[in-house]
Amino acid sequence: MKTQTEYLWFNTKKHREYINITRDVEDVLEKSSIKEGMVLVSAMHITAGVYVNDAESGLIQDIDEWLEKLAPFNPNYKHHRTGEDNGDSHLKSLLVHHEVIVPVTNGRLDLGPWQQIYYAEFDGQRRKRLIIKVMGE
């Protein structure tokens, strides 16, 4: 089995941001020359996530609003007793999850017709990274 590992770095302009990274993942897959296998895409921070969904701006706004309803900013989170103020960002990350695995077939990401891979930042404006690991033959 062969592997290819690369990292993407983010320093978003906004506190919450959703970034389509599908092309970046495709580029790493292409460099790997792997034809059959899988790609792991994982946020390496506890206040960020990775998900697969449609690249439609209204849906992205709906996702953001849904996450804010489920895990709203709240100054009273117990986590804030540590001196932090990002309790909601941790909860949003749990809802989205931190990673996805995408199949590789015939050297291409085997995504559905509308599926795209997104990096979701919930506590931005500082440097964070994501790992892309392609595995297969």
**Fold (CATH) for 2-136:** Jelly Rolls (2.60.120)
pLDDT digits (tens, 9 = 90+) for 40-52: 999 999 999 999 9
The stretch 103-120 carries a mean pLDDT of 98
Dist CA 76 CA 120 (whole Å): 24
Looking at the whole model, is its pTM more than 0.75? yes
- pLDDT at residue 55, rounded to an integer: 96
The stretch 64-83 carries a mean pLDDT of 96
pLDDT digits (tens, 9 = 90+) for 4-24: 999 999 999 999 999 999 999
The stretch 125-135 carries a mean pLDDT of 97
Segment holding 5, helix H or strand E? strand 2-10
The stretch 75-99 carries a mean pLDDT of 96
The stretch 66-90 carries a mean pLDDT of 96
Domain ranges within the chain, ordered by starting residue = 2-136
- pLDDT at residue 124, rounded to an integer: 96
Triad 119, 123, 128: Cα angle to 5°:
60
- pLDDT at residue 109, rounded to an integer: 98
For residue 54, the 8-state DSSP code is E
